[in-house]
């Protein structure tokens, strides 16, 4: 059957037959870098048009419908426009930090790709602390945002960046605790192990109600962590013009914009891996025929299907709920999500020790 | 007691969120009732609301007669000097002088479509038209003379 890991294996074998192992490593790294950038570009284009179409459909509008069939080339046209625009640096800005910030945001998003399992046996780096790596690296993204806000020398940017800092620091706790429930149930931090443990059922179903609660908390917390509505206080158009990227234009703005969508993709991919079984097909108990049909669908399609479903849920949030105030935001985290997820983790630990999960 | 309140808070929040999301999902899955007007494409079939105010026009009948007596009530009612009426004196066949309009000048570029002139008019000479594509390259074209050349006052309108 056609799958990504066979392609990767045959490319590796072919490279090993024509050059020395050191060069093979270098060439493979370059290939992976190019593929990661290509994935980013494609994801950026797809997610922007998806967001706009979802928004339009939810607001009984048509959305972009002029460029290309049904407006599907709109985001490509917008990208070309942003590419040819001038990248302005304000006179009062800290030039070095101002120009560095978008790249920090982008590199953080790029680093997070490493432990994701895109398909069966298809992973850039299957390190044994994959989940810890993701939680650690994703907290770096706040540095890029704070850097952008501080160096812009603009009150809106600084306010947006500070809000974003407060928000990411607090919501990381409940996101981390929600991730922890799956780690407790699996007993491993390795991404491939976590996926393998879900061969007989996804953790969302196997872990009873506590797993569902932690899944909901995870979705809420990552929505806040990626600074998306209803938690988009960091850019709050109506109060702060555009928050931390007020002063950015052209391609540097596009990088921030892209980083936001890439982060959404990554957190949804993590959520899909932890709670919805990653590339594992959907199986129901002893239904041999049904399970066989599900196995026939390539694992990469399963992974991207689940990820895009979660992305749709996050977009659904954005176009349904109004923006929270900063005090409401922190109330929600410290008074509701954190105590609930702490209690939840105790219950999950009990389940894991007693072996009550399926 | 506190715990009960806390749990009911969480329950209420989740419930109201679910209600909101159900509504948007309904819109998402029922994509027939689009509220967007495909404007330049549907110019022929475009239906505007009855009370839409596009610009002030003066109605003329088939004998090229209008109903404006030149009383300048509209000019006085206009809050920003959009209307200027220039009057003249017609000589009737009996040799009597009678006041009539020479030019009804309407500055579209100053008009806010407030409808006060139409309400002030005692003889219903002017009304709001439904046209709205008013853009021109020269702003002099926005100064319009509403009475047609050679038009006269309708019989019986005082």
What is the Cα–Cα distance from B132 to B128, expressed in whole angstroms? 11
Question: Which residues of A fall within a CB distance of 8 Å from B31?
Answer: 57
What is the Cα–Cα distance from A110 to A258, expressed in whole angstroms? 11
Locate the chain B residue with the closest alpha carbon to A313. Answer: B21
What is the Cα–Cα distance from A108 to A105, expressed in whole angstroms? 5
β-strands A122-123, B65-66 pairing: unpaired
CB contact under 8 A, B36 and A57: no
- From the candidates A52, A56, A58, which should be mutated to test the interface with B, based on the most B CB atoms within 10 A? A58
Per-residue pLDDT of chain B (158 residues; tens, 9 = 90+): 788 888 888 888 889 988 988 888 888 888 777 777 888 888 888 888 888 888 889 888 888 888 888 888 888 999 988 999 988 887 777 777 778 888 889 998 899 989 899 999 888 888 898 888 888 999 888 898 888 888 888 877 77
Structure token pair of residue B86: 């220039």
What is the Cα–Cα distance from A31 to B130, expressed in whole angstroms? 62
What is the Cα–Cα distance from A311 to A331, expressed in whole angstroms? 25
SS3 B1: coil
Say which of A54, A59, A320 has its CB closest to residue B21.
Answer: A320
Segment 16-55 of chain A within 8 Å of chain B by CB: 54
Output the pLDDT for position A2.
62
CB contact under 8 A, B34 and A316: no
* pLDDT tens sequence across A293-320: 777 777 788 888 888 898 998 888 888 8
Domains and CATH numbers, chain B: 55-153 (3.30.70.3270)
β-strands B65-66, A117-119 pairing: unpaired
Say which of A316, A320, A336 has its CB closest to residue B10.
Answer: A336
Q: How far off is chain B from A62, nearest CA to CA, in Å?
A: 7
B145 forms beta bridges with B105
What is the Cα–Cα distance from A174 to A215, expressed in whole angstroms? 11
Q: How far off is chain A from B52, nearest CA to CA, in Å?
A: 23
Structure token pair of residue A177: 């605790």
Q: What is the DSSP string of A248-288?
A: --HHHHHHHHHHHHHHHHHHHHHHHHHHS-TTPPP--TT-H
User: Domain locations in chain A?
Assistant: 85-354
> In terms of Cα–Cα distance, which of A346, A355, A351, A207 is closest to A277?
A207
- Is the minimum CB–CB distance between B7 and chain A shorter than 8 Å? no
For tokens 């009304």, the residue is B127
Other residues' Cβ atoms within 10 Å of the Cβ of residue A60 = 15
Residue A329 · residue A165 · CB < 8 Å = no
Output the pLDDT for position B137.
92
Predicted model pTM: 0.79
Question: Which residues of B fall within a CB distance of 8 Å from A321?
Answer: 17, 20
CB contact under 8 A, A60 and B20: no
Residues of chain A with pLDDT under 50: none
Residue B154 · residue B75 · CB < 8 Å = no
ipTM over 0.85: no
Buried b (16+ CB within 10 A) or exposed e, A69-87: eebeebbeebbeebeeeee
Q: What is the DSSP string of B88-152?
A: EEEEPTTS-EEEEEEEEEEEGGG-----HHHHH-SS--EEEE-------SSGGGGEEE-SPTT-E
- From the candidates B5, B16, B19, B24, which should be mutated to test the interface with A, based on the most A CB atoms within 10 A? B24
- Is the minimum CB–CB distance between B12 and chain A shorter than 8 Å? no
> In terms of Cα–Cα distance, which of A81, A302, A88 is closest to A202?
A302
The kind and range of the H/E element at B153 are strand B152-153
- Is the minimum CB–CB distance between B32 and chain A shorter than 8 Å? no
Q: Which residues contact A135 (CB under 8 A, 6 or more apart)?
A: A172, A175, A176, A179
Say which of B9, B24, B34 has its CB closest to residue A58.
Answer: B24
């Amino acid at each position: 059957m056609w799958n990504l890991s066979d392609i990767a294996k045959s490319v590796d074998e072919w490279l090993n037959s024509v050059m020395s192992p050191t060069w093979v490593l270098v060439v493979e790294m370059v290939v992976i870098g190019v593929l990661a950038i290509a994935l980013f570009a494609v994801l950026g284009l797809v997610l922007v048009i998806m967001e706009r179409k979802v928004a339009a459909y939810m607001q009984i509008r048509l959305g972009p419908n002029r460029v290309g069939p049904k407006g599907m080339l709109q985001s490509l046209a917008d990208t070309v426009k942003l590419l040819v625009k001038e990248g302005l640096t304000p006179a009062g800005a800290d030039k070095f930090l101002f120009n560095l910030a978008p790249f920090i945001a982008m590199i953080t998003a790029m680093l997070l790709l490493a432990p994701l399992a895109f398909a069966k046996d298809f992973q850039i780096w299957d390190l044994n602390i994959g989940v810890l790596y993701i939680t650690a690296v994703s907290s770096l993204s706040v540095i890029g945002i704070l850097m952008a806000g501080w160096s812009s020398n603009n009150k809106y940017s600084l306010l947006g960046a500070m809000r974003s800092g407060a928000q990411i620091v607090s919501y990381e706790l409940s996101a981390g605790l929600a991730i922890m429930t799956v780690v407790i149930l699996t007993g491993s931090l390795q991404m491939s192990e976590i996926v393998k443990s879900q061969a007989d059922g996804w953790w969302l179903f196997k872990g009873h109600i506590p797993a569902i609660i932690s899944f909901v908390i995870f979705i809420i917390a990552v929505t806040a962590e990626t600074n998306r509505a209803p938690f988009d206080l960091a850019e709050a158009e109506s109060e702060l013009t555009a928050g931390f990227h007020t002063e950015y234009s052209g391609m540097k703005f596009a990088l921030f914009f892209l980083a936001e969508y890439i982060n959404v993709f990554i957190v949804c991919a993590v959520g899909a891996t932890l709670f919805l079984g990653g590339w594992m097909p959907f199986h129901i108990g002893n239904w041999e025929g049904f399970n066989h049909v599900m196995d026939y669908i390539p694992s990469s399609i399963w992974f991207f299907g689940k990820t895009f479903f979660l992305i749709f849920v996050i977009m659904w949030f954005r176009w349904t709920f109004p923006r929270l105030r900063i005090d409401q935001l922190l109330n929600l985290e410290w008074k509701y999500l954190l105590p609930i997820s702490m209690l939840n983790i105790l219950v999950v630990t009990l389940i894991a020790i007693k072996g009550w999960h399926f | 007691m506190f715990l009960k309140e806390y749990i009911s808070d969480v329950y209420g929040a989740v419930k109201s969120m679910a209600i909101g999301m159900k509504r948007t999902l309904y819109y998402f899955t029922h994509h027939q009732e689009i509220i967007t007007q495909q404007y330049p494409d549907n110019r022929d079939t475009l239906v505007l609301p009855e009370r839409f105010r596009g610009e002030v026009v003066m109605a003329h009948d088939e004998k090229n007669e209008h109903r404006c007596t030149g009383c300048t009530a509209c000019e006085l009612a206009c809050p920003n000097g959009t209307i200027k009426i220039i009057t003249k004196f017609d000589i009737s066949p009996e040799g009597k002088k009678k006041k009539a309009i020479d030019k009804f000048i309407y500055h579209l570029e100053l008009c806010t479509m407030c409808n006060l002139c139409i309400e002030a008019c005692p003889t219903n000479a002017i009304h709001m038209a439904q046209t709205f594509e008013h853009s021109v390259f020269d702003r002099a074209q926005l100064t319009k003379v509403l009475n047609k050349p050679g038009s006269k006052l309708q019989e019986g309108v005082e």
